[in-house]
A and B are shown apart, each in its own frame.
Chain A
């Protein structure tokens, strides 16, 4: 399990517990930036918190307002630590870039597919995505 084959869409470093979404999530209408919880009623992982996680998503979905929701979650400190996207999504990229300009937050976004069965703590560092070995 190495980070080969990933591409940084938004550069930066992040460490967090990996949260893999089984289905795509529109952050707008799907994530409450006040709490960091998934609120999309039709999403199988509704109720889970994305805060400080490395969020792995199949691809974005739906609303173009998701950029604002990501920037707001970053402002409030409820956002994921970083994203691993199976397909590039400029809606999330711009949300992360704008929050960085306004508030200095760092939320790297990489494009690539994680190995099946990945769990635990993961790290994003520029183009590199890798699990962090336990103690």
Chain B
């Protein structure tokens, strides 16, 4: 593998113990991927601040001890704690203390305490063609697909190794060839479905099932697939599959046409997705029936626009069940300024920041099913929290909250 002088200097320990460890791990992974060398990155997003046990903390503390400092602007993903609303945490204090140590360790290395799974909603975000190293599956797929920035799927540990060295393996989605669509997905649905927010996470869920790790180009969507809808699509696809990038013909930046997304080559595979497939995918996200116990929205973190949309729906109404809204501290402060948060809290909803309701104990003792508008939440919460989930649109979530009973929309 080709290494630069500065790569070699880091391996020799000239930038300190942490940088040496990071470069050694990075080179080992790059070799396993047959990378010809490493590329410079301009930003990183770290998923390692979420506490999964002692191993992650031991690693972060060893890097801090080795003098680790990030060398590119580096944001932090959701953690296990809501530092703005600490009273929401219902787990044991020992885990909370360890989780806090982990968060502090990453901040000590110079990371920005953004604590969001949607770093692409921050004012400062990567641009077209930027080489970056991002963790968090939904952020990875958004960066590649919607921003046109270039990141592989970085797991915990490798993300901080990239941030400490400013380098990443020159393979896969960092290269033109790795970004070429090899799978064409022909979406055949009635035009009016493209106006329905629910289409996008359901399509994403199905896309993950058919695409696996392949880069797909979706044919059949149009400009109505805005950023928040593509966010929902990508988050779902990166949960049900290992999707790190998709193109939407005529919409996303590297897919002016289907041919452009495939770099003029023929697809290796073509899949059709129709209303029957989508109805089946939607049904597979519903795991339960029964009384309505709680509602959780905002996975990935709600944008300012989504908070405003929710505020419009709930103005002057009140919820009869616990209603959680996950968002970032950045979006919270912007939405507070416009009065949006006051409306949402007036409805009786609980705003959660810095973390998310499916990764840490926040929900009260739930009696009944939990409703969500997030396919990702519906995918992970049953295993993580042991709850049954009903997946529906945001309007149905609000209608159910107001009535206190499950209200699921008609139609497909």
Query: Would you call A64 and B136 a contact (CB within 8 A)?
Result: yes
- Given A98-B25, A99-B55, verify A93-B32 contact (CB < 8 Å): yes
Q: List 20 A-B contacts (CB under 8 A).
A: A30-B383, A39-B383, A41-B287, A60-B242, A62-B239, A62-B240, A63-B239, A64-B154, A66-B155, A67-B155, A68-B48, A88-B33, A90-B152, A90-B154, A91-B158, A94-B155, A97-B28, A98-B25, A102-B55, A103-B55
Query: Would you call A9 and B32 a contact (CB within 8 A)?
Result: yes
**Complex interface: chain A residues within 8 A of B241 (CB):** 24, 61-62
Tell me, in angstroms, the Cα distance from A17 to B347 when the chains sit together.
55
Instruction: Name the CB-closest residue of B to A39.
Output: B383
Interface pick from A48-56, A71-79, A113-121, A122-130? A71-79
Q: Closest Cβ of chain A: how far from B95's Cβ, in Å?
A: 12
Contact for B383 among A41, A71, A92, A103, CB less than 8 A: A41
- Given A64-B140, A72-B55, A91-B153, verify A24-B242 contact (CB < 8 Å): yes
Instruction: Name the CB-closest residue of B to A33.
Output: B53
Tell me, in angstroms, the Cα distance from A23 to B21 when the chains sit together.
34
Tell me, in angstroms, the Cα distance from A69 to B157 when the chains sit together.
11
Q: What is the size category of the interface that chain A forms with chain B?
A: 35 or more
**Complex interface: chain B residues within 8 A of A103 (CB):** 55
Query: Would you call B157 and A98 a contact (CB within 8 A)?
Result: yes
B108 at the interface (CB under 8 A from A): no
Query: Would you call B56 and A90 a contact (CB within 8 A)?
Result: no
**Complex interface: chain B residues within 8 A of A74 (CB):** 55
Query: Would you call A28 and B52 a contact (CB within 8 A)?
Result: yes
Instruction: Name the CB-closest residue of B to A90.
Output: B29
User: Most chain-A Cβ atoms within 10 A of its Cβ — which of B21, B156, B239?
Assistant: B156
- Given A33-B52, A61-B241, A62-B242, verify A68-B25 contact (CB < 8 Å): no
- Given A62-B242, A65-B50, A75-B54, verify A87-B213 contact (CB < 8 Å): yes
**Complex interface: chain B residues within 8 A of A60 (CB):** 213, 242
Tell me, in angstroms, the Cα distance from A29 to B240 when the chains sit together.
12
Query: Would you call B32 and A90 a contact (CB within 8 A)?
Result: yes
Query: Would you call A68 and B33 a contact (CB within 8 A)?
Result: no
Q: What 1/0 mask marks residues of chain A from 34 to 55 whose CB sits below 8 Å from any chain B CB?
A: 0000011110000000000000
B298 at the interface (CB under 8 A from A): no
Query: Would you call B157 and A67 a contact (CB within 8 A)?
Result: yes
Tell me, in angstroms, the Cα distance from A32 to B157 when the chains sit together.
19
Instruction: Name the CB-closest residue of B to A92.
Output: B155
B62 at the interface (CB under 8 A from A): yes
Q: Closest Cβ of chain B: how far from A10's Cβ, in Å?
A: 7
Tell me, in angstroms, the Cα distance from A104 to B50 when the chains sit together.
23
A95 at the interface (CB under 8 A from B): yes
Contact for A101 among B21, B140, B240, CB less than 8 A: B21
Known: A24-B242, A65-B47, A65-B50. 4 other contacts (CB 8 A): A9-B32, A29-B384, A71-B55, A92-B155
**Complex interface: chain A residues within 8 A of B50 (CB):** 65, 68
Query: Would you call A59 and B384 a contact (CB within 8 A)?
Result: no
Q: Closest Cβ of chain B: how far from A4's Cβ, in Å?
A: 19
Q: Closest Cβ of chain A: how far from B299's Cβ, in Å?
A: 13
Tell me, in angstroms, the Cα distance from A48 to B79 when the chains sit together.
29
Q: Closest Cβ of chain A: how far from B257's Cβ, in Å?
A: 29
Instruction: Name the CB-closest residue of A to B46.
Output: A64
Q: Closest Cβ of chain B: how far from A92's Cβ, in Å?
A: 8
- Top 7 A-B pairs ranked by shortest CB distance? A91-B155, A67-B155, A72-B53, A71-B55, A68-B52, A9-B32, A67-B156
Q: Closest Cβ of chain B: how far from A109's Cβ, in Å?
A: 8
B238 at the interface (CB under 8 A from A): yes
Identify which of residues 320-357 in chain B touch chain A, using a CB-to-CB cut-off of 8 Å. Answer: none
Query: Would you call A68 and B53 a contact (CB within 8 A)?
Result: yes
Q: What 1/0 mask marks residues of chain B from 258 to 296 whose CB sits below 8 Å from any chain A CB?
A: 000000000000000000000000001001000000000
Query: Would you call A64 and B55 a contact (CB within 8 A)?
Result: no
Instruction: Name the CB-closest residue of B to A89.
Output: B242
